[in-house]
Amino acid sequence: MRRILFLALAAVLGAATAAHASPAFAASPHFVRASAALAGADLTVSFKEAGLNNTTLINYAATADATATYVCVNRGGANPSASNKTDVAGPVSATGTFDSGKNGEVTASLTISPPASTLACPPGQRLETAQVAYTNVAITDTTNAVSQAIAGSFDTGCLLPGVRGAC
């Protein structure tokens, strides 16, 4: 009888200890892949991160340095003067929040736009983006402070080949 009572008590204590034990998390956030591609004047940064805790919201920032050339285009399809063209440079970014799901992974994309124009076109002309170049591109998991640089520079070339004087 004593032996049965001892085994029963040991089972109860073991179950209580197991119920209060905290699970070990093996979270080790890291980017599996990261790439960037131009989409018109924008830059789309695509990535996959693994080693995250399951079903957790993760914040991301895609960043780059960008230079954009803006022009005013008249009704005749030309950039009529040099004063109707400007370059704007600076850091650009896009942010987003994604759920790591049941597998502790995020596969997503963020789209970065060029820096805003400071050019004001005269009446009868419209503002157009002539060219954009992106450098120092990176994706950062800001929740876990993990970052991945994306090699290369991304230059649209002339986006307005039919506009005289644009590029």
Closest among 94, 111, 33 to 59, alpha carbons compared: 94
Percent of the chain with pLDDT over 90: 75
Element (H, E) at 67: strand 57-73
Per the prediction, the chain carries an average pLDDT of 87
* pLDDT band of 62, cuts 50, 70, 90: very high
Report how far residue 76's alpha carbon sits from residue 11's, in angstroms, rounded to the nearest whole number.
88
Helix, strand, coil fractions of the chain, as percent rounded to 5: 15, 50, 35
Give the pLDDT confidence of 107-131 residue by residue, as tens digits.
Answer: 999 999 999 999 999 999 999 999 9
Element (H, E) at 36: strand 30-39
pLDDT exceeds 70 at position 23:
no
If you average pLDDT over residues 27-52, what whole number do you get? 97
List Cβ<8 Å contacts ≥24 apart for 142-146.
142/59, 142/60, 142/61, 142/95, 143/56, 143/57, 143/58, 143/59, 144/29, 144/52, 144/58, 146/29, 146/30, 146/31, 146/49
DSSP sequence for 138-161: EEEETTTTEEEEE-S-EE---S-T
Tokens 């002309």 correspond to what residue? 125
List, in sequence order, every beta strand (DSSP E) within 74-105.
85-99
Q: Where are the domains of the chain?
A: 27-155
